[in-house]
Amino acid sequence: MEFRDNKAIYLQIADYVCEHILLGKWKAEEKVPSVRELAVEMEVNPNTVMRTYELLQNKNIINNKRGIGFFVDESAIENVKGYRKVQFIDDELPVVFRNIYLLNIGFDELKAKYETFVKENFNV
């Protein structure tokens, strides 16, 4: 995986895990890769992956079954969405807002753009 420059590695790995859960690659109640396996795959220090898993445990996205390993929580998708929403609102939205303000984009225009985007990309 290519890491970006600005975000802490353990958070980027958390995003990677969340992405897999949202895309259904790792399903609820299924085992996720062990700390070591994921560390090898990402070419990072296992302690970093450990930190990611601690974070995801606290967000109830994965849980630790003692002695067996980490599993996707049954309500993981919901919790990932909640976690990502907070992240999006805190980190990414301010940048978008700044541009909307600077470039004087109206909310109507924005809404129309948003609807076409959803239609084109997700066929709703």
Partner 1 sequence: MEVIRIQHILVYYLTNTVSMIKINNLNFGYSKHKPLFKNMNMQLSNGHIYGLLGKNGAGKSSLLKNLAGLVYAQSGTLDVMGFNPVKRQPALLEQICFIPEEFYLPSVKIDSYVKANAPFYKNFNHTYFSQLLKEFDIPASNKLVNMSYGQKKKFIIAFGLATQAKLVIMDEPTNGLDIPSKAQFRKIMASVLTDDRCIIISTHQVRDLDNLIDTVIMLDEHDVALKASVDEITQKLTFKKVKELDESIIYAEASLSGYNAVMPNYHNEDSKLDMELLFNAILAEKIKFKPLFN
Task: Give me 112's structure tokens.
Answer: 């129309």
Query: Residue length, the chain?
Result: 124
Contact mark string toward partner 1, 53..72, x via CB under 8 A:
-xx--x--------------
118 binds partner 1 (CB under 8 A): no
- 49-57, 66-74, 98-106, 109-117 -> range binding partner 1 (CB under 8 A): 49-57
- Residue 21's nearest CA partner among 60, 66, 50 is 60
Place of tokens 């390993």: 69
89 binds partner 1 (CB under 8 A): no
CB of 40 to partner 1, least distance (A): 5
Which of 17, 21, 26, 48 is the binder for partner 1 (CB under 8 A)?
48
In degrees and rounded to multiples of 5, residue 64 shows phi and psi of: -105, 115
